[in-house]
Homo-oligomer: A and B are copies of this chain.
């Protein structure tokens, strides 16, 4: 049979290689790809090489307002296909030229840094497959890779029961799904009746009403703000997150946790159901004590979640003193780990792992149009509160194939050695002041300019002035564009510090240069501030 084609005359002039009449396919894709892709590969290669040049800058501009002034993006009414590839390639060039260049190795601003060539190849494969990992029939290999990585990770964390897990589009999403999963597992009416169902249940069971029947989350005051977001997302509200104080190294105080849980019950503030422990906190890189926290969580029937978004990969370390930072992980109910941070897998690559596989199905929903298989492993979207999913696990699997468990562990160790050396160097530098450090040290080093001994201003300079010095350094670094580092307010009211994230691939000489820069810009600040007194 032949489709009646009112458009035949019009499409007769099209290249024979394609019979699609969509303007998105002016020629056969293979032909367009063969022309475009090698040119873009060249641009990408040049971008990486540019980044590696010793004199390169991390950023192309000193500030966003400057960028806005110099760059404007177009949304044309008419396309540029008929005029060739120039417009497209120019647009790509514009993006590359004005972006942060992580291949400099001097982007030390965030918990992620540069990708690797393996990651670039993996992204290219994901793109050409364009497969949705919601059901395995659409993404067979991506789903298998996910299954395999989940298995491998669960084994490392000691989940030996009926472990399961999946990738999520970020650590925050993974933490949020953990909260929603815990709610449904601890309070079965959650799925159908929501929080109202929970309060009815708690009334029947314990006679609790109002606030007392409110599910409570406990997490340290140094934990990631995604726990707060998860509480809002799930309809619990910010006030249902109880922040547990930390010691001076940024580690949750288990005694305080225990006390706060007891108080919340006795004072009718709510019903504890979720304890989050952090493995690798955002600012200091601290690891909560999983074993003690787990005992407390278990005593109160709470779900124990470990947010290892940042620090989770320490489990790969061959050095017992390092990997033992997550001792007790096997006692958790769920764990988040983001290989896109410390392991340099391209953004996003985040896993939520659960000790008991069934847990993830507590909120599940069927969809007649989508799920046809009776094998649960084939319906990944049934485990999430989303649907469509990018096959992010493939990237991690290819890293694992390329570097092995051993390579990933040595990578972590390389970073820890470097961070130790950085701390020693700052300690030896009289113009710098070290902030509090995680104990044992992880990969963040917080420091700031130290006022000179003979400083003629207000002596000793206040927290405000010291914070000002930090921000001054941060600004000058931004203007010079050689380094991207962040700053953060530290706990205990001691003000702002430069937060350096020592990535394992950071070059030693770059760290030396950075430390010297911060010291000398700081010196400049104190000299100026003296003038102003």
| Interface of chain A residues 317 through 345 with chain B (CB within 8 A) | 340, 343-344
Q: Return chain B residues, CB-CB under 8 Å to A109.
A: 137-138
- The verdict on A193 contacting chain B, using a C-beta distance below 8 Å, is yes
- What is the minimal beta-carbon distance from A385 to any residue of chain B, in angstroms? 5
Bound complex: CA A197 to CA B199 (Å)? 13
From A116-124, A245-253, A286-294, give the one contacting chain B.
Answer: A116-124
Bound complex: CA A389 to CA B141 (Å)? 24
Q: In the complex, are the beta carbons of A1 and B191 less than 8 A apart?
A: no
| Interface of chain A residues 372 through 406 with chain B (CB within 8 A) | 372-373, 375, 378, 385-390, 394, 397-406
Assuming the contacts A1-B429, A125-B44, A226-B387, asked whether A21 and B145 have C-beta atoms less than 8 A apart, the reply is no
In the complex formed, the residue of B with least CB distance to A121 is B40
Q: In the complex, are the beta carbons of B33 and A75 less than 8 A apart?
A: no
- The verdict on A256 contacting chain B, using a C-beta distance below 8 Å, is no
Interface string of A304-323 (1 = CB under 8 A from B): 00000000000000000000
Q: Return chain B residues, CB-CB under 8 Å to A199.
A: 196
26 sample A-B contacts, Cβ–Cβ < 8 Å, listed by A number:
A2-B512, A3-B422, A5-B508, A19-B509, A20-B505, A23-B407, A23-B411, A30-B45, A32-B117, A34-B45, A37-B44, A41-B124, A64-B373, A68-B144, A73-B148, A78-B407, A79-B407, A81-B403, A88-B401, A91-B401, A193-B239, A194-B236, A348-B388, A368-B489, A369-B486, A372-B487
- What is the minimal beta-carbon distance from A441 to any residue of chain B, in angstroms? 15
From A94-102, A258-266, A448-456, give the one contacting chain B.
Answer: A94-102
Q: Return chain B residues, CB-CB under 8 Å to A530.
A: none
- The verdict on A354 contacting chain B, using a C-beta distance below 8 Å, is no
Q: In the complex, are the beta carbons of B169 and A33 less than 8 A apart?
A: no
In the complex formed, the residue of B with least CB distance to A140 is B67
Choose from B117, B128, B189, B389 the contact partner of A37 (Cβ within 8 Å). B117
Choose from B79, B124, B343 the contact partner of A406 (Cβ within 8 Å). B79
Interface string of A192-233 (1 = CB under 8 A from B): 111111010000000000110010000000001110111111
| Interface of chain A residues 496 through 533 with chain B (CB within 8 A) | 499, 504-509, 511-512, 515-516, 519
Q: In the complex, are the beta carbons of B385 and A99 less than 8 A apart?
A: no
Choose from B196, B387, B401 the contact partner of A80 (Cβ within 8 Å). B401
Choose from B22, B184, B418 the contact partner of A504 (Cβ within 8 Å). B22
Choose from B232, B388, B429 the contact partner of A170 (Cβ within 8 Å). B388
Q: In the complex, are the beta carbons of B508 and A3 less than 8 A apart?
A: yes
| Interface of chain A residues 421 through 444 with chain B (CB within 8 A) | 421-422, 424-425, 428-429
Choose from B71, B231, B414 the contact partner of A144 (Cβ within 8 Å). B71
Q: In the complex, are the beta carbons of B194 and A232 less than 8 A apart?
A: yes
Q: Return chain B residues, CB-CB under 8 Å to A194.
A: 195, 214, 231-232, 234-237, 239-240
Q: In the complex, are the beta carbons of B386 and A75 less than 8 A apart?
A: no
Q: In the complex, are the beta carbons of B237 and A192 less than 8 A apart?
A: yes
Q: In the complex, are the beta carbons of A171 and B79 less than 8 A apart?
A: no
Q: Return chain B residues, CB-CB under 8 Å to A276.
A: none
Bound complex: CA A37 to CA B41 (Å)? 8
Q: Return chain B residues, CB-CB under 8 Å to A480.
A: none
In the complex formed, the residue of B with least CB distance to A96 is B125
